[in-house]
């Protein structure tokens, strides 16, 4: 009987093709927007969260404010904090690398190599080996510095000429040129937003002071003994430094990004809901008109033995059918739209060579499709229930007299 | 095959009143109607326009409930039955034929005829057999099955409507002015179909204002101003089927 009702509903819709098509178009907009936006936002937010998480779930960075200078005393204090596994200072600055005729913007990090590779677990050497800490001029360069469009610019042992700001008395007084040797080249990392290893030159800590002439530590990189101890350490350090330094845990950045993307998803969902609300009104209007036009037919159906419940189901089936078709069309178009949007890429600014451009496939998950389809079917149910109820309650004699 | 026994009353109306109210104005469409239909009868209900014929047919057909009085269907007081049970009785025991055929034009003839069988949950292959049987019984042709009703003549459409009414093998066939929209030739064919169905055991009740149609039946009840004013034998010589 159910399949017969489906068939009768489809026949009824095919009789009023234009009206049904317009209603279906209205229904399709909600799922289209929801799938397109959610999958695109989802893919970027997942990627961003993954990349931030890859920086190390137990890493904490301490950045002093302009008026505060981190020194050995701070380092000793931090190392003494419970659950701190390691703490090392680092220098960082920005510079330019001459690559043929062009100059590329890069970031320079002078840091203890072993701490660096421990903090960013997914950082890997492609060519060469981590230089000894004693080789001050030896460096590790990012993939995008060594290569541009698959064209190799720097190989192992090559000299990289870097122009950096000249700092005297804590102020930039000009610029200076430093030659570094390529000791290792990193595998492509893919951009980590806060740090972009692909566009970074890593040197040993000593190089920061001796080659680049940086007098103040840019910060201290801290490793907790486990991710669960990151929050207590951050809490202790914030209490200790108050407004003298910024304490940033990479895991909390991931949480912040997650909450921002959740907010974006919520806004997107709310926007889609308004499209769904309009669709409900459209379905209701279509079905009320349809029921009015078919009042006599409903009378005949009742006369030949259809119960009120069966009439309700018949009418409701029509609105659900429209929702299913609209939902399927909307979801399909949403998938196409999501791939189109994703193909345009998304640029994120960052330290180094002026950020990265992400080009990701939309995150189209079965749960997103199921959630969207369920919402769309609800449109049919909510929009159709009142007209269907009214139709089911028309007394047969009244319906048969209707002209 | 149903036997033509004319003994047991299938429908009995006892002191039935029907009042319609529109605002402060009330109209009494039926006044103290006492009436019964036995199995196998061939009955005409005659009367002028507005006399209450269709209201009476609606009561007999369990489409409406009386304002006062009782209706018994197969001995059961229908006031005790809910809408669902009444719908089930209409589906299994009654068949309706309307003046304007009331076929659904978007459906094929086959789909129109099978409509009463769907709520019963009868499988489609069995329905196909029952539909063809009913159409043949109603004087229709197999070639009509895949046509739309509006591709048929009025007489042909009414035969399809009769097929729809009898496909569920009802006990009583109720027809409201079944020849009202037909030419004489088509009307005659339709009346002959009713006579054949009655011979096959169906109880047939025809509401008409056409004496030539009424005279084809076994018994004529005349209704005027909501009251049954008499029961008359038909004048077979003045019936539609007696005329060339």
> Average pLDDT, whole number, for chain B?
89
| Residue B121: burial class (beta carbons within 10 Å; 0-12, 13-18, 19+) | exposed
Residue B205 in any domain: the answer is yes
The tokens describing B35, both together, are 């009436």
Report the gap between the CA of A332 and the closest CA in chain B (Å). 30
Mutation pick from B103, B119, B168, B177 vs chain A, by most beta carbons of A within 10 Å, is B119
Q: In chain A, which residues have their Cβ closer than 8 Å to the Cβ of B115?
A: 301, 304
| Residue A7: burial class (beta carbons within 10 Å; 0-12, 13-18, 19+) | middle
Domain count, chain B: 1
Q: In chain A, which residues have their Cβ closer than 8 Å to the Cβ of B108?
A: none
Q: In chain A, which residues have their Cβ closer than 8 Å to the Cβ of B96?
A: 300, 303-304
The Cα A27–Cα A376 span in angstroms is 7
Whether B127 contacts chain A with CB within 8 A: no
- Domain limits, chain A: 2-53+255-401, 59-225
The tokens describing A208, both together, are 């920061």
**What mean pLDDT do residues A190-217 have?**
81
The Cα B117–Cα B18 span in angstroms is 31
Indicate the pTM of the whole model: 0.72
| Residue B140: burial class (beta carbons within 10 Å; 0-12, 13-18, 19+) | buried
* Adjacent-strand bridge partners of A161: A179
Which string of b and e fits A235-254 if b means at least 16 CB within 10 Å?
ebbeeebeeebebbbbbebb
The Cα B139–Cα B162 span in angstroms is 9
Rounded (10°) angle between helices A250-293 and A308-343:
140
The Cα B109–Cα B136 span in angstroms is 13
The Cα A154–Cα A159 span in angstroms is 8
The tokens describing A76, both together, are 């000793």
Domain holding B154: CATH number?
A: 3.40.50.300
* Adjacent-strand bridge partners of A222: A60, A87
Tell me the residue range of the domain where B163 lies. Answer: 39-65+78-242
Torsion over CA of A248, A249, A251 and A256, rounded to 10 degrees?
-20
The tokens describing A254, both together, are 């991931």
DSSP A177-212: EEEEEEEEEEPP----SS--GGGEEEE-HHHHHHTS
The Cα A285–Cα B170 span in angstroms is 38
Contact status, residue B207 vs residue B175, Cβ threshold 8 Å:
yes
**What mean pLDDT do residues A23-31 have?**
90
Whether B168 contacts chain A with CB within 8 A: yes
The confidence score (pLDDT) of residue A133 equals 83
The confidence score (pLDDT) of residue A351 equals 45
A302/B58 touch (CB, cutoff 8 Å), yes or no: no
A304/B90 touch (CB, cutoff 8 Å), yes or no: yes
Phi, psi of A383 (to 5 degrees): -70, -30
The confidence score (pLDDT) of residue A87 equals 93
The confidence score (pLDDT) of residue A86 equals 92
Residues recorded for chain A = 403
Q: Percent of chain A scored above 90 by pLDDT?
A: 32
Question: Which of B87, B104, B118 has its CB closest to that of A302?
Answer: B87
The Cα A106–Cα A94 span in angstroms is 6
Question: Which of A303, A306, A395 has its CB closest to that of B119?
Answer: A306
Which of helix, strand or coil describes residue B26?
strand
**What mean pLDDT do residues A301-310 have?**
92
Residue B211 in any domain: the answer is yes
The confidence score (pLDDT) of residue B158 equals 92
**What mean pLDDT do residues B195-217 have?**
90
Q: What is the DSSP letter of B37?
A: E
The tokens describing A112, both together, are 């203890």
DSSP A220-241: EEEEESSGGGHHHHHHHHHHHH
Whether B88 contacts chain A with CB within 8 A: yes
Q: Average the pLDDT over each of A72-86, B2-16, B20-34 and give the range with the smallest value.
A: B2-16
Contact status, residue B43 vs residue B37, Cβ threshold 8 Å:
yes
Residue B154 in any domain: the answer is yes
The Cα A299–Cα B54 span in angstroms is 15
Half-sphere exposure of B204 (CA within 13 A, CB side): 32
Name the closest residue on chain B to residue A401, using Cα atoms: B54
Q: How many CB pairs under 8 A join A and B?
A: 68
| Whether residue B26 has pLDDT greater than 70 | yes
The Cα A197–Cα A189 span in angstroms is 6
The confidence score (pLDDT) of residue B150 equals 93
Whether B107 contacts chain A with CB within 8 A: yes
pLDDT band at B30 (very low <50, low <70, confident <90, very high): very high
Among residues A73, A171, A65, A195, the alpha carbon closest in space to that of A123 is found at: A195
Q: Interface pTM (ipTM) of the complex?
A: 0.89
| Residue A126: burial class (beta carbons within 10 Å; 0-12, 13-18, 19+) | exposed
Report the gap between the CA of A295 and the closest CA in chain B (Å). 12
Contact status, residue A184 vs residue A130, Cβ threshold 8 Å:
yes
Rounded (10°) angle between helices A295-303 and A308-343:
130
The confidence score (pLDDT) of residue A294 equals 86
| Residue A13: burial class (beta carbons within 10 Å; 0-12, 13-18, 19+) | buried
The confidence score (pLDDT) of residue A186 equals 92
B83/A304 touch (CB, cutoff 8 Å), yes or no: no
The confidence score (pLDDT) of residue B2 equals 44
* Helical H segments across A215-359, by residue range: 230-241, 250-293, 295-303, 308-343
> Average pLDDT, whole number, for chain A?
86
The tokens describing A100, both together, are 């043929």
Contact status, residue B222 vs residue B242, Cβ threshold 8 Å:
no
Name the closest residue on chain A to residue B85, using Cα atoms: A307
Model confidence pLDDT, tens digit, residues A67-90: 889 999 999 999 999 999 999 999
* Adjacent-strand bridge partners of A107: A94, A200
Model confidence pLDDT, tens digit, residues A278-293: 888 888 888 888 888 8
Half-sphere exposure of B79 (CA within 13 A, CB side): 10
Name the closest residue on chain A to residue B168, using Cα atoms: A304
* Helical H segments across A121-177, by residue range: 143-146
The tokens describing A28, both together, are 């399709």
Contact status, residue B212 vs residue B239, Cβ threshold 8 Å:
yes
Half-sphere exposure of A166 (CA within 13 A, CB side): 6
Question: Which of A305, A307, A397 has its CB closest to that of B116?
Answer: A305
Among residues A2, A87, A42, the alpha carbon closest in space to that of A261 is found at: A42
| Whether residue B17 has pLDDT greater than 90 | yes
Name the closest residue on chain B to residue A13, using Cα atoms: B106
- Rounded to the nearest 5 degrees, what angle is found at the Cα of A358, between the Cα atoms of A357 and A359? 120
pLDDT band at A220 (very low <50, low <70, confident <90, very high): very high
Q: In chain B, which residues have their Cβ closer than 8 Å to the Cβ of A5?
A: 118
DSSP A86-124: EEEEEEEEEEEEEETTEEEEEEEEEE-HHHHHHHSTT--
| Whether residue B170 has pLDDT greater than 80 | yes
């Amino acid at each position: 009987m159910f399949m017969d009702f489906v068939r009768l509903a489809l026949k009824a819709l095919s009789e009023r093709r234009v009206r049904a098509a317009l209603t279906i178009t209205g229904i399709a907009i909600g799922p289209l927007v929801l799938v397109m936006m959610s999958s695109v936002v989802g893919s970027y937010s997942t990627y961003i969260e993954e990349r931030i998480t890859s920086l190390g779930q137990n890493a904490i960075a301490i950045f002093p404010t302009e008026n505060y200078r981190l020194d050995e005393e701070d380092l000793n204090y931090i190392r003494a904090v419970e659950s701190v596994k390691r703490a090392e200072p680092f220098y960082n600055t920005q510079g330019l690398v001459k690559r043929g005729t062009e100059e590329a913007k890069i970031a320079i990090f002078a840091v203890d190599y072993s701490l660096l590779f421990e903090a960013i677990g997914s950082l890997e050497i492609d060519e060469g080996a981590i230089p000894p800490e004693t080789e001050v001029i030896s460096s590790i360069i990012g993939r995008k510095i060594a290569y541009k469009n698959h064209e190799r610019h720097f190989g192992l042992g090559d000299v990289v000429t870097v122009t950096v700001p000249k700092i005297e008395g804590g102020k930039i007084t000009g610029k200076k040129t430093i030659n570094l040797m390529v000791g290792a080249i990193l595998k492509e990392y893919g951009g980590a937003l806060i740090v972009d290893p692909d566009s970074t030159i890593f040197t040993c800590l000593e190089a920061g002071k001796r080659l680049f002439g940086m007098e103040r530590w840019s910060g201290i990189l801290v490793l907790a003994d486990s991710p669960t101890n990151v929050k207590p350490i951050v809490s202790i350090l914030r209490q200790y430094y108050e407004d003298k330094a910024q304490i940033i845990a990479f895991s909390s950045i991931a949480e912040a990004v997650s909450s921002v993307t959740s907010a974006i998803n919520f806004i997107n969902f709310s926007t889609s809901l308004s499209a769904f609300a309009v669709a409900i009104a459209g379905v209701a209007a279509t079905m009320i008109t349809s029921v009015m036009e078919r009042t006599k037919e409903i009378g005949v159906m009742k006369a030949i033995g259809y119960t009120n419940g069966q009439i309700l189901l018949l009418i409701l089936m029509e609105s659900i059918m429209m929702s299913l078709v609209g939902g399927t069309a909307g979801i399909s178009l949403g998938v196409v739209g999501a791939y189109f949007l994703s193909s345009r890429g998304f640029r994120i600014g960052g330290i180094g060579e002026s950020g990265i451009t992400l080009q990701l496939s939309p995150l189209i998950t079965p749960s997103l499709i199921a959630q969207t389809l369920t919402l769309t079917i609800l449109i049919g149910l909510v929009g159709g229930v009142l007209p269907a109820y009214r139709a089911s309650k028309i007394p047969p004699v009244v319906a048969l007299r209707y002209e | 095959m149903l036997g033509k026994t004319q003994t047991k009353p299938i429908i009995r109306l006892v002191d039935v009143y029907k009042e319609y109210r529109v605002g402060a104005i009330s109209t009494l469409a039926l006044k103290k109607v006492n009436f019964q239909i036995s199995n196998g009868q061939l009955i005409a209900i005659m009367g002028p326009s507005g006399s209450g014929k269709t209201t009476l047919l609606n009561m007999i057909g369990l489409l409406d409930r009386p304002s006062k009085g009782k209706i018994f269907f197969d001995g059961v007081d229908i006031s005790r039955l809910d809408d669902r049970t009444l719908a089930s009785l209409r589906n299994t025991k009654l068949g309706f034929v309307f003046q304007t055929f009331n076929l659904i034009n978007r459906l094929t003839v086959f789909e129109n005829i099978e409509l009463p069988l769907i709520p019963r949950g009868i499988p489609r292959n069995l329905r196909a057999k029952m539909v063809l049987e009913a159409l043949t019984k109603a004087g229709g042709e197999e070639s009509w099955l895949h046509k739309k009703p509006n591709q048929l003549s009025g007489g042909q459409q009414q035969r399809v409507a009769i097929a729809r009414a009898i496909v569920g093998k009802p006990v009583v066939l109720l027809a409201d002015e079944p020849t009202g929209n037909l030419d004489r030739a088509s009307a005659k064919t339709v009346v002959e179909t009713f006579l054949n169905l009655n011979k096959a055991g169906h109880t047939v009740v025809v509401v008409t204002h056409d004496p030539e149609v009424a005279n084809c039946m076994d018994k004529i009840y005349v209704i005027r101003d909501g009251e049954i004013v008499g029961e008359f034998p038909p004048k077979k010589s003045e019936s539609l089927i007696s005329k060339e």
